[in-house]
Amino acid sequence: MANLIEIKTSETFIVDLMYSGTANMLKTNVYGRVGLGNRCFVQSDLYQNLQKLIPVLQSRGLRLKIRDAYRPPLAHNMMLEIIPMPGFFARKPELSQHCHASAIDVILTDDKGQELDFPCAVDAYSPFYADEISAGRWDDFRHHLEKAKYTWNDPAAARAVANRDMLRRLMEQAGFTALEHEWWHFNLPDKEKYPLIDFSLWNGQPVFTER
């Protein structure tokens, strides 16, 4: 049985999982469907890395909003069915570090919880592109998704780019590894040491099982 740590909203962290509602590219509350809801679980190593961020964020008047963390494999398979676009999600749960509880999607906010400017939203989400994907129109979204890469730059978006790069510095200093094509996504290094984790409910309580 896996022993994960739950992160709850605090003075430093805001738990707002995008797949526990419908404001996401899927337009579906997938985590609600599987019973996880807006509960944020991570490996203990990931939790310890996040603790390193607390004094740094507090000294800058910032908070970290968590948009995704542990993802049940069943939820991941649902997501693949809803959006079969190659490369948008890992092609199977075993390849997604979210399903190993060793990855986290985050964004910086001010001390009131207002999100800072970034090149695009997490998952490059917008209601317009969610509708486009639902209609099977992917070409414009693929172009928009270029803003998720660290190589994207635009002098008109200097503040957003600076915030993106600051987030990366803070997360890497805390021991995370960045994903070059998703500015919001960070992994634990040595990902092979973390097994795939299944999720179920027992008397309304989460149960995590390694496999």
pLDDT tens per residue, range 5-41: 999 999 999 999 999 999 999 999 999 999 999 999 9
Q: Does position 138 have pLDDT exceeding 70, yes or no?
A: yes
Domains of the chain, earliest start first: 5-210 (3.30.1380.10)
Q: Does position 96 have pLDDT exceeding 90, yes or no?
A: yes
Q: Which of 53, 44, 43 is nearest to 14 (CA)?
A: 53
pLDDT (tens digit per residue) in 35-87: 999 999 999 999 999 999 999 999 999 999 999 999 999 999 999 999 988 88
Contact status, residue 68 vs residue 99, Cβ threshold 8 Å: no
User: 52 Cβ partners below 8 Å, 6+ apart?
Assistant: 173, 174, 175
Q: In what order do the strands lie in the sheet with 13-15?
A: 13-15, 62-68, 103-110, 182-187, 177-179
Question: E strand or H helix at 209, and its extent?
Answer: strand 205-210
Q: Which of 152, 179, 157 is nearest to 168 (CA)?
A: 179
Q: Does position 1 have pLDDT exceeding 70, yes or no?
A: no
What is the mean pLDDT of the segment spanning 116-121? 98
The one-letter amino acid code at 10 reads S
**176, exposed or middle or buried, with CB in 10 Å at 0-12, 13-18, 19+?**
buried
Residue in the structure block whose two tokens are 């803003």: 147
Contact status, residue 146 vs residue 152, Cβ threshold 8 Å: yes
Cβ contacts of 162-165, under 8 Å, gap ≥ 24: 163/108, 163/116, 163/117, 163/118, 164/118, 164/119
**Residue 3 binned pLDDT confidence (cut-offs 50, 70, 90):** confident
Q: Which of 98, 99, 118 is nearest to 108 (CA)?
A: 118
Alpha helices in the chain (DSSP H): 30-34, 44-60, 73-82, 127-134, 139-144, 158-173
**Residue 145 binned pLDDT confidence (cut-offs 50, 70, 90):** very high
pLDDT (tens digit per residue) in 156-203: 999 999 999 999 999 999 999 999 999 999 999 988 899 999 999 998
